[in-house]
Amino acid sequence: QLQLQESGPGLVKPSETLSLTCTVSGGSISSSRYYWGWIRQPPGKGLEWIGSLYYSGSTYYNPSLKSRVTISLDTSKNQFSLKVSSVTAADTAVYYCARSQSDYDYFSYWGQGTRVTVSS
Amino acid sequence: DILMIQSPDSLAVSLGERATINCKSSQSVLYSSNNKNYLAWYQQKPGQPPKLLFSWAFTRESGVPDRFSGSGSGTDFTLTISSLQAEDVAVYYCQQYYSSPYTFGQGTKLEI
């Protein structure tokens, strides 16, 4: 059974870089059948797609965040990562990693999410 | 960006009654070459990640009870729960995957 698990600091200071990792078990991140994505949910609010990447390393991002976001792959560890630079309080959210089908970006599998608070 | 608007924002339904949630997209999410609607529905219970209920507007995921159904095409979609059960209390989201950036509706909170 596929499992995704987010990890990373729960508290980040304003203007610093938020860094999260998603560890995938029960399946290979190197499969050509899937994309791997990040979605976030501010407290009490809805869902926002951040970006996704393919096993080849190709990425696509939400333009609203593109200038600050990097998603990368570590196939040796079966992990992918998210970095958001220059964070503000508006980046406070639960961050989810998820898997979508190749070419069809609905998300079939989700991690449990990790809460990140931006505060000094 | 394609804007997804759900209605209502919240809904209270009695046990055993029908619940209907609507989702409207600012442009069509029907891809003419394959006649498929690039629309998904999710259920999110408190403290949990979203769970995919439907893809392609009405293709039910394995394990989703058949009291749940999805319908609609183009810009107007509906999620229906035919006979509400206590475990269906959740927030429901639609999502379009027709074009990037992929966008979600604001959510509909379903209560008893």
pLDDT of A73 above 90: yes
Residue of B nearest to A95 (CA): B49
Rounded mean pLDDT, A91-95? 98
- Please, which pLDDT band fits residue A3 given cuts at 50, 70 and 90? very high
The pair of structure tokens assigned to A10 is 């729960």
CB contacts, 8 Å: B106 with chain A: 46
- For A11-46, what is each residue's pLDDT tens digit? 999 999 999 999 999 999 998 889 999 999 999 999
pLDDT at position B11: 95
Q: Cα(A61)–Cα(A69) distance, rounded to whole angstroms?
A: 8
Euclidean distance between CA atoms B30 and B38, whole angstroms: 6
Q: What's the mean per-residue pLDDT of chain A? A: 95
Predicted confidence band at A57 (pLDDT cuts at 50, 70, 90)? confident
B107 in helix, strand or coil? coil
Q: What per-residue confidence (pLDDT) applies to A102?
A: 79
Say what the pLDDT of residue A55 is: 86
Angle among Cα B72, B51, B93 to the nearest 5 degrees reads 45
pLDDT 10s digits, B61-76 = 999 999 999 999 999 9
Percent of chain B with pLDDT over 70: 100
| Residues in A touching B100 (Cβ below 8 Å) | 60, 62, 105
Measured CA distances, A8 to A45, A65, A75, A81 (Å): 22, 19, 18, 10
The A-side interface with B (CB below 8 A) comprises 46-49, 60, 62-64, 96, 98, 100, 104-108, 110-113
Confidence of residue A90 (pLDDT cuts 50, 70, 90): very high
Query: Virtual CA dihedral for B75, B79, B82, B84, nearest 10 degrees?
Result: -150
Q: Which residues of chain B have pLDDT under 70?
A: none
Query: pLDDT class for A66, splitting at 50, 70, 90?
Result: confident
Any idea what DSSP says for residue B99?
A: S
pLDDT at A39: 98
Pairing of strands B108-111, B10-12: parallel
Place of tokens 């797609």: A49
**DSSP per position, B17-80:** S-EEEEEEESS--EETTTTEE-EEEEEE-TTS--EEEEETTTEEPTT--TTEEEEEETTEEEEE
Q: Exposure string (b/e) for A24-46, b if CB count within 10 Å is 16 or more?
A: beebebeeeebbbbbbbbeeeeb
Name the token pair of A80: 């992918």
**Chain A environment of B40 (Cβ under 8 Å):** 106-107
In this predicted structure, what is the pLDDT of residue A31?
87
Cα-based torsion angle of the residue sequence B59, B65, B66, B69 in order, rounded to the nearest 10 degrees: -50
Phi and psi at residue B106, in whole multiples of 5°? -75, -10
Q: pLDDT at position A101, please?
A: 86
Residue A104 binned pLDDT confidence (cut-offs 50, 70, 90):
confident
